[in-house]
Amino acid sequence: MIFKICGITNQEDASAAIDAGATAVGLNFYPRSPRYIAPERAAEIATAAGVRRVGVFVNERPARVEEVARIARLDVAQLHGDESPAEFPASLPVWKGLRMSEMRDISIYDEYPVEALLLDGPASGISFDWTVAKHLPGRPHRIVLAGGLDSLNVAEAIAIVRPWGVDVCSRIESAPGRKDHKKMTAFLHAARLAAL
C-alpha cells in the first residue's frame, strides 16, 4: 500500500515522514496553495530510495508539468483540474484527483491513462462517505484515498475502501506546510497496521 504525506515543504518534515514509514511524499506546485513549493526548492528535498515523489498540480499545462517534473525529480504527477487525457504529461504516471462531493461514475476515467484515482474530500481536511468510494461504479481503478484522514479514522477508512494508497495533509499539520511529527507518525503507524 502507498502511504503518502502530502504538502511537504522542507527537509525536516520529509525525513521525519520517511523515517516513520511514508512511501510517497507530495510536493505542491499550485501557486495559490499555502503549501506551494518552488520546483527548485523541491529539488533540494532529499528522499530515500523507493519513496515516490508526487507533484501536485491544478489545471497546469502539460509542458509545465513536464518541466517541473524534470527540475523536482518527480515520479508521479497528481492532477487536480479539468485535464483531458490529451493534456496528461507523457513522461510520468498520473494520479487523477477527484473531489468526492457527490456519487459519481468513475468508469468515465477508463479512457484516461492513469495509474490511480485519488479520491479527495469536498474541501481540504474534510472527509467524505467512504462507502461511496467502496461502491463506485467502475471501481477497478487503483484508489488513493484522501480527505480528512488522520490517525483516528484511517484504519476505518482502509477497512471500508481497501484502497491502493492513503494520503494525508492538513490534519497532521501544526501550520500549513509544517507537519506535526507526532501526528504524522501516529497516522503512518495506524495506516500501516490497518493495511496488514
Kindly report, residue by residue over 87-122, the tens digit of the pLDDT.
899 899 999 998 887 656 666 777 778 999 999 987
> So what's the pLDDT on residue 93?
95
Question: Between residues 33 and 131, which one has the greater pLDDT?
Answer: 33
Cβ atoms of 80 and 58 within 8 Å: the answer is yes
Catalytic residue among 13, 120, 150, 167: 120
The long-range contacts involving 75-78, CB below 8 angstroms and separated by at least 24 positions, are 76/24, 76/52, 76/115, 78/26, 78/54, 78/118
| Res. 137 pLDDT band, cuts 50 70 90 | low
Distance CA 184, CA 77 (A): 23
Is residue 6 flagged as an active site residue? yes
For residue 139, pLDDT over 70 is answered with no
> So what's the pLDDT on residue 104?
61
- 88 grid coordinates: 496528461
CA angle (114, 116, 120) in 5-degree steps: 120
Nearest to 66 by CA among 97, 90, 42, 37: 90
Given phi > 0 = left and psi -120 to 50 = alpha, else beta, which region is 150?
Answer: beta
Is residue 120 flagged as an active site residue? yes
> So what's the pLDDT on residue 124?
77
Work out the average pLDDT over 19-40: 97
Work out the average pLDDT over 8-20: 98
Distance CA 189, CA 21 (A): 8
In whole angstroms, how large is the CA radius of gyration of the chain?
Answer: 15
Question: Between residues 25 and 125, which one has the greater pLDDT?
Answer: 25
**Single pTM value for the model:** 0.93
Per-domain boundaries in the chain: 2-195
CATH number of 2-195: 3.20.20.70
For residue 71, pLDDT over 80 is answered with yes
Kindly tell me the burial class for residue 134, based on how many C-beta atoms sit within 10 Å of its own C-beta (0-12, 13-18, 19 or more): middle
CA distances from 116 to 11, 20, 36, 106, 165 (A): 27, 24, 23, 11, 9
